[in-house]
């Protein structure tokens, strides 16, 4: 098997979210009265992909770290200057005018025959497509060709994932579903591992080592990325210094963990949300499981205006509505029964 540390993996997300790229959004979603924007999926899928690659021992390069849109020419220039080994781009498809839902569905993976490495780009795309087919549970359409800059003009094998259709009602909901988004990122990493002949290391607690102040390397980067998802503003430098230590302390305090600044199994489990259903949530809860819950509820089209990890009145109303509509005891408390249904739901149906 090849050594993962010999490779630099480029990760790219299409379009921007701050401000959102015009037109790159779903039709208005019923029940919540707003659109989901394409980069709300793209950016998180890219981050989940990078986290998986770091866990497997790769070096990673974020081609588009900004939240605003960046031109393809700039991203191509960055890619070629960095000397990456390959590029994976995350995107979400659309069909028709984009103003209404239709039946076009499924995921597609693309490469360019004009890439300097066309055969390798095709092979990479096929490996990624195969892993998506195994893991996503949505329609697998095809591996195709398209000539755009991030596929044609980069000096390495390159692939683009169109993970679904934002103009399909059910697939539009998946854009913000944290389980689906993570599956896309993990599947892409699995495909990269197959292509490069590197062992894939699964997202299990046993594969996350104990780290503390003074630690360095990929798992510190994973920690920093995860903490940033929970609102901490850390530089992802792979160095467990004072700022990272203080952020860990605060995260542990907010999640009722021993606040020792050491990232062991309990802290990793909370950071990764490996067992959200093991946590009972109710009004007043403040932790990573609440944020996971809020993302699920929003993807199911229950109004959540603030993804903040705080179980307040709005989150309780959404939980009670979910319980009512799914024949559960309506108490506003997320215990084992509510978790079981939440984790197996597809959310509200289209009333039209």
pLDDT in tens, 113-128: 999 999 999 999 999 9
Residues 254 and 320 reside in one and the same domain: no
Which pLDDT belongs to residue 275?
87
Residue 352 counted as domain residue: no
Which pLDDT belongs to residue 36?
97
Residue 258 counted as domain residue: yes
Residues 80 and 150 reside in one and the same domain: yes
How far is Cα 31 from Cα 302, in angstroms, rounded to an integer? 7
Tell me: the pLDDT tens digits for 14-37? 999 999 998 899 999 999 999 999
Q: Is the pLDDT of residue 187 over 90?
A: yes
Burial of residue 47 (number of CB atoms within 10 Å: 0-12, 13-18, 19+): buried
Q: Is the pLDDT of residue 169 over 90?
A: yes
Strand 158-165 relative to strand 107-111, pairing? antiparallel
Which pLDDT belongs to residue 229?
92
Whole domain around residue 307: which residue ranges?
Answer: 276-342
Query: Is the distance from CB of 72 to CB of 158 less than 8 angstroms?
Result: no
Which pLDDT belongs to residue 1?
78
Return the percentage of the chain with pLDDT > 90, whole number: 95
Q: Which helix (H) or strand (E) holds 162?
A: strand 158-165
Instruction: Give the dihedral sign, CA 233/235/241/242.
Output: negative
Asked which of 135, 167, 196 is the last residue of a domain, the reply is 196
Residues 139 and 257 reside in one and the same domain: no
With 0.95 as the threshold, say if the pTM is over it: yes
Q: Angle, nearest 10°, between helix axes 242-254 and 265-272? A: 80
What mean pLDDT is predicted for residues 7-13? Answer: 98
Average pLDDT, the chain: 96
Which pLDDT belongs to residue 140?
98
Residues 36 and 80 reside in one and the same domain: yes
Asked which of 153, 170, 196 is the last residue of a domain, the reply is 196
Which pLDDT belongs to residue 277?
85
Query: Which residue in the block uniquely carries the two structure tokens 């959200």?
Result: 276
Tell me: the pLDDT tens digits for 268-320? 999 999 988 888 999 999 999 999 999 999 999 999 998 999 999 999 999 99
Residue 252 counted as domain residue: yes
Residues 15 and 139 reside in one and the same domain: yes
Asked which of 272, 289, 306 is the last residue of a domain, the reply is 272
Residues 38 and 151 reside in one and the same domain: yes
How far is Cα 143 from Cα 160, in angstroms, rounded to an integer? 10
Which pLDDT belongs to residue 278?
86
Query: Is the distance from CB of 201 to CB of 57 less than 8 angstroms?
Result: yes
Residue 236 — very low, low, confident or very high, per pLDDT cuts 50/70/90?
A: very high
């Amino acid at each position: 098997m090849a050594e993962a540390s010999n490779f630099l993996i480029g990760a790219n997300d299409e379009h921007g979210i701050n401000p959102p790229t015009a037109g790159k959004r779903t039709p208005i979603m019923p029940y919540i009265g707003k659109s989901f924007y394409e980069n709300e999926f793209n950016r998180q899928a890219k981050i989940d992909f990078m986290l998986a690659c770091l866990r497997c021992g790769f070096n990673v390069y974020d081609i588009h770290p900004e939240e605003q849109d960046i031109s393809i020419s700039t991203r191509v220039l960055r890619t070629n200057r960095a000397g990456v080994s390959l590029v994976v781009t995350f995107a979400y498809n659309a069909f028709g005018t984009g103003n209404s839902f239709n039946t076009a569905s499924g995921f597609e993976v693309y490469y360019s025959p004009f890439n300097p490495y066309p055969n390798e780009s095709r092979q990479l795309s096929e490996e990624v497509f195969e892993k998506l087919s195994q893991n996503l549970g949505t329609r697998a359409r095809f591996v195709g060709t398209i000539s755009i800059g991030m596929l044609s003009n980069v000096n390495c094998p390159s692939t683009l994932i169109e993970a679904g259709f934002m103009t399909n009602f059910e697939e539009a909901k998946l854009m913000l579903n944290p389980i689906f988004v993570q599956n896309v990122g993990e599947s892409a990493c699995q495909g990269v591992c197959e292509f490069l002949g590197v062992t894939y290391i699964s997202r299990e607690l046993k594969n996350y080592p104990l780290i503390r102040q003074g630690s360095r390397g990929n798992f510190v980067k994973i920690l920093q990325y995860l903490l940033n998802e929970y609102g901490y503003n850390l530089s992802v430098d792979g160095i467990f210094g004072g700022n990272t230590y203080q952020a860990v302390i605060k995260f542990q305090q907010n999640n009722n963990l021993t606040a020792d600044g050491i990232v062991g199994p309990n802290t990793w489990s909370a950071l990764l949300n490996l067992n959200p259903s093991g946590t009972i949530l109710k009004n007043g809860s403040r932790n990573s499981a609440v944020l996971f819950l809020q993302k699920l509820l929003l993807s199911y089209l229950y109004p959540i205006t603030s993804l903040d990890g705080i179980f307040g009145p709005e989150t309780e109303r959404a939980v009670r509505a979910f319980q009512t509509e799914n024949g559960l005891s309506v108490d506003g408390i997320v215990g084992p029964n509510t978790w079981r249904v939440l984790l197996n739901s597809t959310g509200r149906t289209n009333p039209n």
